[in-house]
Structure 1
Amino acid sequence: MTVRAILSVIGLAFTAYLAARGLIWTSPETVERGWLIVAALVLYLPVTWLWIFAIGARERTTESAATTSVRLPGWGVALALVAAVVVPNAPFLAVTEAGRTQPFVTWVIGGIGALMTIVMVRRRPVVAWTGMAILGVSTSFWLGPLQALSLGLVGSLVWVTAAQLVTIALDQAARDAERLAELQQAASAWQASQSGRQRERRLHVQRALQAAGPILARTIENGGNLRAADKEAARRAEATLRDELRGNRLLDDGVRAEIEAARCRGAAVSLFDEGGLEGLNAAELDGVRSELAGILRGAVSQRVIIRTSPHHEIAVTVVGRSTGEGAGGDDDQVDLWREIRRPR
């Protein structure tokens, strides 16, 4: 059985015990209208058990970001308040003045206190305290304030107060638990992000070693005296490292191969990632990179500039420039202009 089921059974047994006291008429001679006592029982038990088991069992709504509590329909509230009015007054009206302090009459104080405790647990504090106010006025009218307090009113007030404090504590605990769960999720996300960045840094280091490692080893072996081919290889290695730093999101194996091929044939290739690719998913990035590799494969320019674009329609711009033949050959001419559009 669940905790809720166990508590419901305990509430059922306790309220049944309180109501059973109303059937044990220890002073029958004081009873003038016994049907009123029976009527109070007939009203009390169904209303109380309805609040324990049925009302709100399938009606839930979130009152705050932290707690989900049962919201009870208006007709259930009306029944509880009717019971708070009728049940305490009917037994007192049914007996003579001498019988008002008998247990089969005063059980109503504990009975209504138990009902309002259940109402409080159901997150209806206003209704619960309204019912307790009605109980206090009714019992004070029939018994007097001091006698009402001595015959159980204090205990009923303590029950309802304790229920409210426990409810507040549970709601706070639920909010704290949800906050803790959010912090744990944030910590897990941060840890995953850090792990991803560490893997990315390791990958960059491996690529840097692959690109620059051999030429650095030859430089050390030769004491810095490099041949022309080695110097060219060093320049290409340096450019490759700059690509990884400036435009890593544009690179995959295909793009890297085409850039290396362009540099091997003498072209100067520059990459600049200035934003604009952040909103693309992996498949869209693959499409952009594939188109970029195709553009580079057919490029014959002496200088190729690849720049990402923050424009909402253009993802990457590729510009190729070559030395012009006119005006002494000092002016560069744009012989390649391609725009890769953002995937839609």
Structure 2
Amino acid sequence: MTVRGVLSAIALAFTAYLAARGLLWTRPETVVHGWLLVASLALYLPVAWLWILWGRPSRATTTRVDVAPAGAGLPGWAAGLALVVAVVVPNATFFAVAEDGRTQPFATSSIGAIGALMTIVMARGRPVVAWIGIGVIALSASLWLGPLGALSQGLVGSIVWVGAAQLLSIALTRAARDAERLAELQQAASAWQASQSGRQRERRIHVQRALQVAGPVLGRTIETGGNLRAAEKEAARLAEQSLRDELRGPRLLDDAVRAGIDAARRRGAAVTLFDEGGLEGLQGAELAAVRAELADVLRDSASERLIIRTSPHPAVAVTVVGRSAGDGAGGDDDDVDLWHEIRRPR
């Protein structure tokens, strides 16, 4: 059983006890209108149990951290019924008993009964209704018993119950808010940790690829003291450019694209990659399709300069521009001999 179920069972038993106590007429001769006493208690119990049981979640939705039912599910007329009971029950009880019997336990139990009801109302998240009910019972008991008599016959206890319930509700609300905030922080921390783990794996892959590409060249450079042959210098240049590609456009690259770029550079073309975030949202087969098309374009290209750039356009994933020397001299007079747009997969 959950904490909420235990508290509900205690509340049911306690309100039933208070109602039964009102029927234990220790001095029957002082009871003038017995039927009125019974009727007031018959009104009290259903309303009290309504506030206890209304809106209890099903077993499938109840968790073990539930402490008290939320008052949001109770309709407005339930609050009205609670206030009606606060007015009717004590006044009917004291009216039904002769003056010399109004201090008897069966008569003053109505003060405790209303106090218990208002405590439940407070626990269900209706503090205004609860304090209005306490004000009503304080006024009614004072009119019938006098202020001191009312205070000595259970009014103080009722006020303390409701006040304690309000303090407990405030504490539980703050605890629930803190727990929710802690859960959000834990979720954010888990997401950050997962992101860092992913980045660490990506960095390890880049380091391994860098060692695979540049390791032999660096070893040869150290071995010869930097006196590399022309072919070795060319291999070092290609390795440096490959490492730059891994940093600038890792999502554009797979084995086929790397082979196409390497082949273009070996025939003398200058290849530049720019990944500016145009591939967001592409995963798996979609990204593989873009890379396959890019590898085909590189394989068929004959340009002297190739610029591969991801596109911010919503319909275009990658733009490939090829330029070659024209009639004029200088890079500014190069002719565009290749323009290819790789569409985003739909």
TM-score, normalised relative to structure 2: 0.91
Structure 1 stretch displaced more, 99-108 or 73-82: 73-82
Cα separation, 2, equivalents of 1:281 and 1:150? 76
User: What is the SS of the residue equivalent to 2:320?
Assistant: strand
1:58 deviation in Å? Answer: 5.2
User: What is the SS of the residue equivalent to 2:170?
Assistant: helix
Could you tell me which of 78, 81, 105 is aligned with 1:79? 81
1:279 deviation in Å? Answer: 4.0
Cα separation, 1, equivalents of 2:205 and 2:112? 73
One-letter amino acid of the structure 2 residue matched with residue 69 of structure 1: A
2:94 maps to 1:69: no
The within-5 A match list for 1:118-133 is 118-133=120-135
1:332 deviation in Å? Answer: 2.4
Aligned to 2:273: 271
**Structure 2: 5+ residue stretches without partners:** 62-67
Tell me if structure 1 keeps the 8 A contact 2:270–2:306: yes
User: What is the SS of the residue equivalent to 2:236?
Assistant: helix
The within-5 A match list for 1:240-259 is 240-259=242-261
Tell me if structure 1 keeps the 8 A contact 2:55–2:69: no
Aligned to 1:37: 37
Tell me if structure 2 keeps the 8 A contact 1:57–1:70: no
One-letter amino acid of the structure 2 residue matched with residue 31 of structure 1: V
Aligned to 2:55: 56
Aligned to 2:64: none
Cα separation, 2, equivalents of 1:68 and 1:329? 80
Question: CA 1:156–1:329 in 2, change beyond 3 Å: closer, same or farther?
Answer: closer
Could you tell me which of 337, 340, 343 is aligned with 2:339? 337
**Structure 1: 5+ residue stretches without partners:** 61-66
Aligned to 2:321: 319
One-letter amino acid of the structure 2 residue matched with residue 49 of structure 1: W
TM-score, normalised relative to structure 1: 0.92
Aligned to 1:20: 20
User: What is the SS of the residue equivalent to 2:323?
Assistant: strand
Cα separation, 2, equivalents of 1:146 and 1:167? 30
Cα separation, 1, equivalents of 2:181 and 2:194? 20
- Cα deviation digits, residues 284-322 of structure 1 (max 9, x gap): 332222221111111111211111222333322111112
- Cα deviation digits, residues 128-174 of structure 1 (max 9, x gap): 11111111111111011111011100000000111111111111111
One-letter amino acid of the structure 1 residue matched with residue 105 of structure 2: P
Structure 1 stretch displaced more, 178-187 or 207-216: 207-216
Could you tell me which of 144, 162, 165 is aligned with 2:164? 162
Cα separation, 1, equivalents of 2:254 and 2:205? 12
The within-5 A match list for 1:147-158 is 147-158=149-160
One-letter amino acid of the structure 1 residue matched with residue 6 of structure 2: I
User: How many residues align structurally?
Assistant: 336
Cα separation, 2, equivalents of 1:19 and 1:68? 23
1:236 deviation in Å? Answer: 0.5
Tell me if structure 2 keeps the 8 A contact 1:263–1:269: yes
User: What is the SS of the residue equivalent to 1:186?
Assistant: helix
1:50 deviation in Å? Answer: 2.1
One-letter amino acid of the structure 2 residue matched with residue 44 of structure 1: Y
- Cα deviation digits, residues 97-149 of structure 1 (max 9, x gap): 11111111100000000011111111111111111111111111101111101
Structure 1 stretch displaced more, 261-270 or 187-196: 261-270
User: What is the SS of the residue equivalent to 2:70?
Assistant: strand
User: What is the SS of the residue equivalent to 1:320?
Assistant: strand
Cα separation, 2, equivalents of 1:202 and 1:255? 21
Cα separation, 2, equivalents of 1:162 and 1:327? 91
Question: CA 1:225–1:153 in 2, change beyond 3 Å: closer, same or farther?
Answer: same
